[in-house]
Amino acid sequence: MDERALAERLITYDTSTPDGIRSAAGFVKGWMDSVELDVQATDYNGLPVLTATVGDPASPSPTVILHGHIDVVPGFAEQFVPRVEGERLIGRGAYDMKGGLAAIMCALRELKDLRGARVRFVCAPDEESEDFDRHATDDLVARGLTGDFAITGEPTDLHVGVQAKGVLMIRLAVHGRAAHGSTPWLGDNAILKAIDVFRRIETMPFAAESTEMFDRPSINLGRLNAGDAVNKVPDEAVMAVDIRYLPGQEPGAILEQIRAIGGVEVIKTFIRPPAHVSRLNPYVTALCAAVRRAGQSGAMGVGRDGASDAISFIEAGVPAVEFGPVGGGHHGPEEWVSIPSLARYKQALVEFMHAVPELARGADRGLRAVEGGRSSGGARRGGERSETG
């Protein structure tokens, strides 16, 4: 099976569910076993985590982590039936990131006999999870997964993502006053108040800021729960706001602005810092060169609006970038990946890994650390009190 065939097969699994994740991971493991790649399956919170190592077993050898995830956001049943239109493979996860995962698997097959470097492969089951406190990748890193460089196959249109926005997810309770639905003027509708709070967040000073790579932060109202009877004015609304803040912005300062809004209670927060790796990092420049050799002109370091597990490696001192195939519509109804780009993506990974031994011999080992480190911002994980109910 080539990368297109593997991607099509992976799309057929509804990996927004635990059962679908287990089935798809079983397929990945079976395929890797069939091409004589030694893959291990472990359990994290009831879900399978797949790892493998290929290349030179000698130590020390420069090590690159190739990281992917098999889970997707929920979709309609028809989105798990892949279809091809021209050069586009369409289906849930085609772009984020089953196409990239399929190409990584094919790259591993070609790198089995690599000498002078090794690849550590990780297939995570929970990158899209709403349980933000801990992911399987964090657990692997905490237990010693490390390397000289890491690539996570998030969609980047064959550019190298050297920056990513930070994550500030907030669960807010907005309080009103109950009344009969026939006399709404006697109450204070919490739903309307919540929408007004969100509009105020959108117009706060931080929302108008920009950087070299990002024209603005991202602010999304992802969930709003309120009301227990249609004939009653709701007295409480709980909403989840997803803020992707910029490198250099302070999540604590953003929270202070939100707390200053009257009638709002911060129930829970999750903060993950922005990602930042220098464009001059030798592994980054080598990866960009490999992309060009694989036939993709104009490879460059870019900023990514979305967050990813790359920050797990960066926080542990391992330079990490996002790098994936061409496509569009991720998390949307017509998600697609470019079929020709899957082959170029795989070839770029193979070309890059063949360049790593010489890169490691010539590079100053002091450049292993992330130039500039992860972006500052006083970020911390966790949150306030856990929500009740």
- Give dist(CA 255, CA 2) in Å, integer: 47
Tell whether pTM > 0.85: no
3-state secondary structure of 113: coil
- H helices of 182-281, where? 190-202, 251-259
Taking each helix axis as running N to C, give the angle between helix 3-11 and helix 18-34, from 0 to 180 degrees, rounded to the nearest 10. Answer: 160
Across the chain, the runs of DSSP E, i.e. the strands, are 39-44, 47-55, 63-69, 83-85, 88-90, 118-124, 149-152, 160-164, 166-175, 179-180, 218-226, 232-233, 236-245, 264-272, 275-276, 301-304, 320-323, 327-328, 336-338
- Residue 346 CA to chain centroid, in angstroms? 19
3-state secondary structure of 191: helix
CB contact set of 388 (below 8 Å; sequence gap of 6+): none
**359 in Cβ contact with 283 (< 8 Å):** yes
* Residue-level pLDDT at 300: 66
Strand order in the sheet with 88-90: 83-85, 88-90, 336-338, 327-328
* Residue-level pLDDT at 376: 35
Please report which helix (H) or strand (E) contains residue 346, including its range. Answer: helix 339-362
Give the pairing type, strands 320-323 and 149-152.
Answer: parallel
Regions of the chain short of the pLDDT cut 70: 131-133, 298-302, 304-307, 362-389
Options 3.30.70.260, 3.40.50.1370, 3.40.50.300, 3.40.630.10; CATH for 3-164+274-368 is 3.40.630.10
**258 in Cβ contact with 205 (< 8 Å):** no
What backbone phi and psi angles, to 5 degrees, belong to 130? -85, -5
Options 2.40.50.180, 3.30.70.360, 3.40.50.300, 3.20.20.80; CATH for 166-272 is 3.30.70.360
Instruction: Name residue, tokens 């690539």.
Output: 151
* Residue-level pLDDT at 131: 65
244-264 pLDDT, tens digit per residue, is: 999 899 999 999 999 998 889
DSSP 364-381: -GGGGSPTT-SPPS---S
> Which tokens belong to 192?
């309307």
65-123 pLDDT, tens digit per residue, is: 999 999 999 999 999 999 999 999 999 999 999 999 999 999 999 999 999 999 999 99
Q: Where do the structural domains in the chain lie, given as residue ranges? A: 3-164+274-368, 166-272
DSSP 43-98: EETTEEEEEEEEE--SSS--EEEEEEE-------GGGGS-EEETTEEESTTIIIII
**249 in Cβ contact with 209 (< 8 Å):** yes
**50 in Cβ contact with 39 (< 8 Å):** yes
Work out the number of other CB atoms within 10 angstroms of the CB of residue 200.
14
**87 in Cβ contact with 338 (< 8 Å):** yes
* Residue-level pLDDT at 382: 38
**120 in Cβ contact with 65 (< 8 Å):** yes
* Residue-level pLDDT at 301: 66
- Give dist(CA 305, CA 322) in Å, integer: 11
Per this entry, what is the length of the chain? Answer: 389
- Of 158, 70, 94, the C-alpha closest to 337 is 94
